[in-house]
Amino acid sequence: MPLSRAEMDAKIDEHFAYEANDNVAGVLATLTPDVEHDIVGWPSGPAHGREGARGFYEALFADLADGHVTTQRRLYGADFLVDESLWSGRAPGRPFGIEGRNRPLSFRLLHIIEFAGNGDIARENVWVDLAGIIQQLPAQ
């Protein structure tokens, strides 16, 4: 039986809440054990399994702080959703290899999330507005 919109919303909102609290274990618990985790443009390419995704979240939480995700729009299908969001916070580290110097930052995100029958995230595909990040974090 396909997941309802409310069930999909609950899982992705739980996932985002763990991210907002830099809780790696919590984020990983929202994923299936064999998740495909694909941050488009991430140097190591797609990761597989919870442990494969761990490195991305550890780097993300070191590079970005005080993050908040505001959903702009969601589109739903059978066992998937597309979430268009705005991330805002600070960049104390080197997000996506760019020196943050603790500057404020906001950028658009597009998540394509596929769910397993139990409601966990089986595939997370994320598109980041890297041009927006570069514009806000100039080298000077």
CATH code for position 104: 3.10.450.50
* Number of domains present in the structure of the chain: 1
| pTM, to two decimals | 0.93
| Residue 73 near residue 8 (C-beta atoms within 8 A) | no
The tens digit of pLDDT for each residue in 6-63 reads 999 999 999 999 999 999 999 999 999 999 999 998 888 999 999 999 999 999 999 9
Give percent above pLDDT 90 in the chain: 92
Residue 140 pLDDT > 80: no
Q: Quick one: which of 123, 112, 128, 129 has its CA closest to 52?
A: 123
Domain range for 33 is 5-136
Q: Work out the pLDDT band at 64, boundaries 50, 70, 90.
A: very high
Q: What is the helix (H) or strand (E) element at residue 20, kind and residue range? A: helix 5-20
How far is 124 from 108, CA to CA, in rounded Å?
16
